[in-house]
Structure 1
Amino acid sequence: MSTDTRAATGPSQWGLAALGGVALAVAAGLGAYAEVHPGDGAALTTLGFGGVLEMKSWLTTAAAVLVLVQVVSALAMWGRLPGVTDAPPWVSGLHRWTGTVAFLLTLPVAFHCVWSLGFEDESARVLVHSVAGCVVYGVFAAKMLALRLRGLPSATVPVLGGLLAAVIVLVWFSSALWFFGQSGPVRY
């Protein structure tokens, strides 16, 4: 391998390894904390909603809608949206702000999941939800770090963004969609 090739691949390999390590550490840390702190199911706040599950479902739904805006705006910014050759200048601001708001909407949800409910595995749906919820923040941390690291492959940020969107949608399907489909009193 030539020196030029080694120099070009070395930093990106270390950067990708660092991103993977950060994602794993954050997700595992959240999962481990939630596992050792089983919670009592009590709501610390419902932000005006009728209950903690209702609050979590609506905030997650709002975040999932913003994630759809994130995907469309990212496709426009990267020149991958059919029929859009040049994204208008405001698209990057829209992308940044919808991502920020989506992240902020997930914080009370995650806090209640980790603090009030703990890591659950009583059914396949709940286990998938618990794991995916932890993975959301691991992938988010990796994506935010990837925005600042130089020398990474050009596909890194779009792949992490797509993975983050997919995991948030999985969280929504395994929680909010399930909640909205229930009739009568609901227990997580």
Structure 2
Amino acid sequence: MLPEPAPARSAPAPRAAGPTTLFVPLLVGAAVAVALGVYGRTHTPTGIAVNVAGFSGPQTVKVWLGSAAALFAVGQLLSALAMWGRLGPFSPSWAGAAHRWSGRIAFLLAVPVAVHCLYALGFADHDLRTLAHSALGCFFFGAFTTKMLALPRPGLAGWTLPVLGGVLFTALMGVWLTSSVWYFTTFGVHR
């Protein structure tokens, strides 16, 4: 009689995400937000950091780039809703690519705005609007860092990325409302 073959080993089951799965991304994101706030608060503002030909000044460059970032963030929201099947039967196959590219473009547009804010203006708290804008700007980049570090983590709960994306979207809309929208309603729309 032949010996029985050894039972086949199955691959280990993927580990379920524990409560500490997001600890490192959240910790690093918080550190980024605090570091930006500390830099903005301790750095002596220069008044000018980013200027582009064709605009009347650096402030208008900032509000238009911020508005473009907000527009691409709306594209992020719509493509995320399509990817998660929240737009009914409308879920194009290219929603994932649109989501990734609209996010990349929104982030690239937001970076020179942040550089201008931090370098030229610093962390401002002259009134509630400027305090909210400064805090939301730092929070946005901390939330972005958290989301990017969470993306490759296996075993995340299904709600994690939509919540992180929603927080990121809300923070950027808050930054936009306290800067570009305020500027346009105060000084008018011009370049």
**Alignment TM class, shorter chain as reference:** 0.7 to 0.9
Match of 2:61 among 55, 58, 61: 55
| 1:115 paired residue number | 119
The answer to whether the 8 A contact 1:22-1:142 is kept is yes
Q: Does 1:148 align with 2:152?
A: yes
| 2:79 paired residue number | 73
The answer to whether the 8 A contact 1:119-1:130 is kept is yes
1:1-188 matches, within 5 Å, as 8=16, 11-41=17-47, 43-48=48-53, 49-84=55-90, 87-183=91-187
Report the secondary structure of 1:14's partner residue: coil
Distance (whole Å) between structure 2 residues aligned to residue 100 and residue 183 of structure 1 = 30
Shift of 1:83: 3.7
Shift of 1:183: 3.2
Supply the RMSD in Å over aligned alpha carbons: 1.4
Q: Runs of at least 4 residues of structure 1 off by over 2 A?
A: none
The C-alpha deviation readout for 1:90-111, integer Å capped at 9, x for no partner, is 1111111111000000011000
Structure with greater helix percent = 1
Give the alignment's TM-score, normalised by structure 1. 0.87
Distance (whole Å) between structure 2 residues aligned to residue 92 and residue 38 of structure 1 = 42
| 2:12 paired residue number | none
Aligned length: 173
Give the alignment's TM-score, normalised by structure 2. 0.86
Distance (whole Å) between structure 2 residues aligned to residue 45 and residue 143 of structure 1 = 27
Shift of 1:13: 1.4
Bigger mean CA deviation after superposition, 72-81 or 124-133:
72-81
Which consecutive unaligned segments of at least 5 residues does structure 1 have?
1-6
Q: Which has the larger radius of gyration?
A: 2
Which consecutive unaligned segments of at least 5 residues does structure 2 have?
1-14
Q: Which amino acid aligns with 2:50?
A: T
Report the secondary structure of 2:52's partner residue: coil
Shift of 1:127: 0.1
Shift of 1:45: 3.0
Shift of 1:44: 2.7
The answer to whether the 8 A contact 2:21-2:156 is kept is yes
